[in-house]
Amino acid sequence: CPTSPAAPLAFTMFQLTRVYMGNSMFRGNASLNGQLSHLLEENNVTQVLPLEPPDAWARQQKVVITYLKNFRQLVQLFNKERPTKFTQHLCCHLGCRLYPNGTAQSFYEVTLNRTALLSFHVPNATWELRWPGELPVAAFAREQLMKYPITTQDLQYFLNTTCVSILQAQSARTGKVSGRSRAPLVLGLVLGSLVLLGLALGIFLCTGGSC
């Protein structure tokens, strides 16, 4: 939908992973100011907007596809160790908004089976528990995510700096996509994938209530 001049510019990413008896299904997308930029369907990630030249996009695409393959193998391994017969839905929603007065807001939210699980506090680069009540899975996942720079400092930089700079470049180009916003969009997809992988370590290793 077209945005009004007073509405904030936005870059958002959404990724949903469905796991059932060791099988993983993926879907998701990224959008820049309301325009679909990337699409994730099962094993395929496509660039909808021509943000990168074909050769550069082919390299980035390979990174994401490799991640999806590794994720599937990891889930299959967990399922052999601790089989589950129920479906789990893990959803990651992240991005940033730039308001007309120049202020910005970034976010990263994770839900498990449609219930808030974790959120990323961007200013302090810390993960916070959102699950209502105690859940060993959530605590373990948070512990894993706090261990690595890619899921703390790197993610903070992407959300607080890179993501916002994409929107700043767009603010003077209403309805157009700036060439300066190429690689960071895909970087966001990869970072989101790595965070999801970290969450998987907690969720699927701790299935059953104990870690």
pLDDT in tens, 99-112: 988 899 999 998 88
Pairwise CA distance, residues 175 & 171, whole Å: 9
pLDDT of residue 119: 93
209 in any annotated domain = no
Query: Is the pLDDT at 19 greater than 60, yes or no?
Result: yes
β 9-20/126-129 pair status = unpaired
- What CATH number corresponds to the domain at position 163? 3.30.500.10
Q: Using CA atoms, how far apart are residues 181 and 183, in angstroms rounded to an integer?
A: 6
Domain hosting residue 86, numbered range: 9-179
| CA separation for the pair 51, 47 (Å, rounded) | 8
Let me know if residue 78 belongs to a domain: yes
Q: Is residue 205 part of a domain?
A: no
Say which residue, 141 or 91, is predicted with more confidence.
91
Contact 116, 91 (CB under 8 A): no
With vertex at residue 208, the alpha carbon angle to CA 75 and CA 201, rounded to the nearest 5 degrees, is: 35
Range with the poorest average pLDDT among 10-19, 63-72, 167-176: 167-176
Measured in degrees and rounded to the nearest 5, phi and psi for residue 66 equal -65, -40
pLDDT band at 191 (very low <50, low <70, confident <90, very high): low
Average pLDDT over residues 63-70: 79
In the chain, the number of structural domains is 1
| pLDDT of 187 | 56
What tokens does 77 get? 């391994």
Are 115 and 196 in contact by the 8 Å Cβ rule? The answer is no
Of 150, 170, 96, 159, the residue nearest 123 (C-alpha)? 159
pLDDT per residue over 133-171, tens digit each? 877 777 877 887 888 887 888 888 888 888 888 788 777
